[in-house]
Amino acid sequence: MTDTPVRNTTARWRDLDRRHHLSPFTDYRDLKGAEAGSRIITRAEGIQLFDSEGEAFLDGMAGLWCVNVGYGRKELAEAAYRQMLELPYYNTFFKTATPPPVELSERLAALMPEKLNRVFYGSSGSESNDTVVRLARHFWKLEGQPEKQHFISRTYAYHGSTMASASLGGMTPMQEGFGLPLPGFHHVVPPYWYDFGGDLSPEEFGQKAARAIEEKILEIGPENVAAFIGEPIMGAGGVIVPPPGYWEEVQRICRQYDVLLVADEVICGFGRTGHWFASELFGIEPDLMTMAKGITSGYLPLSAVGVSDRIVEALLREGGEFAHGYTYSGHPAACAVALANLDIIEKEGLVERTRNETGPHLQQALHAAFDDHPLVGEVRGTGLIAAVELVKDKASRTHWEKLGRVGGICRDHCFANRVVIRAVRDAMVLSPPLVITPAEIDEMVVRLKHCIDATARDLG
């Protein structure tokens, strides 16, 4: 039995995982029992993952929407190695800096929307959104409007898992029983026509969803509202692409009531939509913009907040310490990896390729495979982010009673067929590495079609 040692290693890791490791977003009951246990991923290359038993999977999710340049990039490992030998760590507190974060800030300033020219660093998307909460409140205090403390966000938004970022988010399971949202965090309807649009056209509904923000501002009082935050395309909430005109109206409303506009580009940034940032795609000119994930393609943890000239001017004019920061703000090795990652994205033209070639290829392939499928209510997306919404009744846009059950069945078929595609409620979501080829996209869609057909058969 040549594979016995492999089996034993897998069994050992599963056992250690079960006994000593608490994984995030996991129902620990599911890990009980000798046969149950986590899948152990040991290696990856390009868009393929390999588990501890040598099985290969197509990674339709780029990890957690982050491995934009794909796996196995030696340039990124070498950048980390060089920086770790030179200066593995030093802090950026108290008027100190190191070369990688300042170099990276210049690069980001050139890529971000025009009015964003400064960058504040953290290690996760959650931290960057916590920074937004602190910085927005600090800004309004400096402006002599300290009562501007409230934040508006949307149902189904995902902005992270810390107390403040989960309060910004609009996911009920992350809030119920946790004392969240914290006071001062409000939620309005998302621009999700498929679920909330009723008889309105997508455009009409987009205007209605934007006006919900205005109504909330007026309810709270504009003098009390610090900021509105939104992902340009809502990712973890189910790849919700807003109808045309939505962001223009949101922007108009934020300007009218002097409410800061925050774009959470943690998923959309660094080429995912075929633009460096989706703010470009929707004409959003944010006051603050959060970034993570694709900034290093996930090779090391790093996040960033782009800060507008208006906010920086207030910080400079009024002075006083901004009492906020993280030990790893501007981590030199993470920033060095980010710089090498930007080099790859630029040299390989991954943003343009996503916009002109692979993005349209994925969207067309999904429409061709699923527009007429009886189980599919809607195919939506842009660039290399997409969702295939599974529904009980296509004609009336009706979901199954227990949301997520059918998505779970399909996701399990996907794993069994060696493709990682996540289910958000009953929407199958895709966000592959930007290095994916048209042939790999075709293979992924063929496997997904097979799995959706199998799901339909399971439902009888």
- For ligand PLP, the binding residues (CB under 6 A) are 64, 124-126, 129, 158-161, 231, 235-236, 264, 266-267, 292
Could you tell me the smallest distance in angstroms from the CB atom of residue 396 to ligand PLP?
31
Residues 6+ apart with CB under 8 A from 110: none
Instruction: Please identify, using beta-carbon distances, which residue of 151 and 370 lies nearer to ligand PLP.
Output: 151
- Please state, in angstroms and rounded to a whole number, the distance separating the CA atoms of residues 429 and 268: 14
Instruction: Please identify, using beta-carbon distances, which residue of 289 and 369 lies nearer to ligand PLP.
Output: 289
Q: Report the residue closest to ligand PLP, judged by CB.
A: 125
- Please state, in angstroms and rounded to a whole number, the distance separating the CA atoms of residues 206 and 135: 29
Instruction: Please identify, using beta-carbon distances, which residue of 160 and 407 lies nearer to ligand PLP.
Output: 160
Q: What CA–CA distances, in Å, run from 126 to 8, 92, 270?
A: 37, 20, 18
Could you tell me the smallest distance in angstroms from the CB atom of residue 35 to ligand PLP?
30
C-alpha triplet 322, 291, 77: angle, nearest 5°: 110
Residue 407 CA from chain centroid, whole number:
19
For the chain, the helix, strand and coil percentages under 3-state DSSP, each to the nearest 5? 45, 15, 40
Neighbours of 45 (CB within 10 A): 12
Could you tell me the smallest distance in angstroms from the CB atom of residue 191 to ligand PLP?
15
Instruction: Please identify, using beta-carbon distances, which residue of 111 and 262 lies nearer to ligand PLP.
Output: 262
Q: Which of 285, 287, 284 is nearest to 307 (CA)?
A: 287
Q: What CA–CA distances, in Å, run from 317 to 75, 135, 260, 407, 453?
A: 41, 15, 19, 52, 62
Could you tell me the smallest distance in angstroms from the CB atom of residue 68 to ligand PLP?
14
DSSP 242: P
Could you tell me the smallest distance in angstroms from the CB atom of residue 4 to ligand PLP?
38
Q: Is residue 201 classed as helix, strand or coil in its secondary structure?
A: coil
DSSP 241: P
Instruction: Please identify, using beta-carbon distances, which residue of 14 and 425 lies nearer to ligand PLP.
Output: 425
Could you tell me the smallest distance in angstroms from the CB atom of residue 385 to ligand PLP?
11
Could you tell me the smallest distance in angstroms from the CB atom of residue 320 to ligand PLP?
28
Instruction: Please identify, using beta-carbon distances, which residue of 124 and 363 lies nearer to ligand PLP.
Output: 124
Instruction: Please identify, using beta-carbon distances, which residue of 105 and 129 lies nearer to ligand PLP.
Output: 129
